[in-house]
């Protein structure tokens, strides 16, 4: 315990989680894209920070958020959860190449704009 539950999250992060929850199965979004859709002005780092704090929340499909290169962002702070992310994405039908990269041209989420009126 000790982690925020998404519905109780503070406003800024709540918006990020709301966007992430809209990513369809079988597609991915980049951190920068989520930041922009959440109205954060492209501050991609905030999205990464927010997702770290909600990692254990089951309602947010954090696995569908990858970095701008189409790669899973690895970090020692995740203790292997990054590998699990790849497994989850593959289970949704997303393919990784030999360098563990996703073909963003194929899988990137293209939502209608604006997401939030």
Which positions lie near DNA, rule CB under 7 A? 2, 4, 9-13, 30-32, 41, 43-55, 62, 65, 67-69, 73, 75-78, 81-82, 85
CB nearer DNA, residue 76 or residue 114: 76
How far, in Å, CA of 96 to CA of 112, rounded? Answer: 26
CB of 59 to DNA, least distance (A): 12
d(CA 109, CA 71): 15
Q: Could you tell me the smallest distance in angstroms from the CB atom of residue 26 to DNA?
A: 19
What tokens appear for 18 in the block? 């709301």
Q: How far is the CB of 91 from DNA (least distance, A)?
A: 16
CB 67 within 8 A of CB 73: yes
Closer to DNA by CB, 58 or 112: give it: 58
**52 vs 116 by CB, closer to DNA:** 52
Angle between helices 11-21 and 44-53 (to 10 degrees): 90
Min. distance of Cβ 40 from DNA in angstroms? 7
Angstrom distance (rounded) from CA 94 to CA 91: 7
């Amino acid at each position: 315990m000790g982690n925020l539950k998404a519905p109780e999250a503070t406003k800024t992060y709540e918006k990020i989680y709301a966007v992430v929850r809209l990513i369809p199965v079988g597609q991915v979004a980049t951190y920068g894209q989520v930041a922009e859709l959440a109205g954060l002005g492209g501050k991609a780092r905030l999205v990464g920070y927010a997702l770290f704090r909600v990692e254990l929340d089951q309602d947010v499909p954090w696995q569908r958020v990858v970095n701008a290169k189409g790669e899973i962002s690895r970090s020692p702070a995740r203790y292997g959860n990054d590998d699990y992310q790849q497994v989850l994405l593959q289970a949704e039908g997303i393919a990784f190449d030999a360098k563990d990269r996703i073909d963003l041209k194929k899988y990137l989420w293209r939502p209608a704009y604006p997401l939030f009126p």
